[in-house]
Amino acid sequence: MIFNLGGKGGQDDGADAGSASGDLIKDIDTAQFEDDVLRASMDVPVIVDFWAPWCGPCKTLTPILEKAVTAARGAVRLVKINIDENQALAGQMGIQSIPTVAAFKGGRPVDGFMGALPESQIKAFIERLAGEIGPSPADMLMEEARAAFAAEDFATAAQTFAAVLQEEPGNPEALGELARCYLAVGDAERAGEMLALVPPEARDHPSVKGAQAELDLSAQAADSDEVQALRAKIAQAPSDKPARLELAAALAADGQREEAMDLLLALVEEDRAWNDEAARKQLLSLFEALGPTHDLTKQGRRRLSSILFS
């Protein structure tokens, strides 16, 4: 199934959508520093991101800064300065390590930090400069999309997650949840396409890992005859661990997650080390596919902890 993602400004699943930041975010050099930082900060606070192409933490920090500045909707501006190309300016500013971020207000530096900070601290940093910032358009769209998904209105959820991607291209939660929308209607191919768009540095995002785990489960789906054959095999040989593990995978892929979880927990309880802890690993994949807030995940984790620490 291919959702019609034309609503809410959707554009090809949001994959190629751009984000218009205008003059809020720009790359500058030494010659532009006086106009774009010192003079500009007389009107609105300007955040300066000193970075270099070889700096790993810079690649993590800069997108977070860009997202937070965009969400501030004009309350602050961001300029980015490559220190490799502007070494004299970096020396004048006393830059000793990167990433270094400096905030200018009224033509002078007023705040700053070194190193990559999490998104919550970046938002707090900006709010110290510009006052409290409410939810961004992307945040509000994300809430709408989550609600639609919870109500199993997958078409609306998909359109709205795509709209989030128009605001924030590459948003890992939106891509992961859009993949889940496709999985919910049985379109594993499109789900895989969405996950392929996730930036490498965001592969560990919970929504992405959950969607990938669900996609992996769907690839193990067996038809009803195979499931019945496995049940019959186990009925004749209840101690057949490989057959029970295979049945658990088939049931999980078929949406019978509770029975799959019961089978896996029983295998862990009988012999947690069997087959390189295959049952426990499959159980953890099931938890990821369900998501951390799902009731089955919470119940299953409690039961697994009880088994492992008994």
Which pair of structure tokens corresponds to residue 107?
Answer: 């033509």
Catalytic residue among 17, 40, 58, 138: 58
Active-site residue, 181 included: no
Distance CA 307, CA 150 (A): 31
Distance CA 180, CA 207 (A): 9
Which residue, 72, 51, 73, is CA-closest to 60? 51
Which pair of structure tokens corresponds to residue 280?
Answer: 């426990």
Active-site residue, 55 included: yes
Q: Is the backbone peptide bond immediately before 99 cis, with ω within 30 degrees of 0?
A: yes
For residues 260 and 251, the answer to whether their CB atoms sit within 8 Å is yes
| Cβ neighbours for 64, distance < 8 A, ≥ 6 positions apart | 116, 117, 118, 119, 122
Catalytic residue among 17, 55, 122, 283: 55
- Catalytic site positions: 55, 58
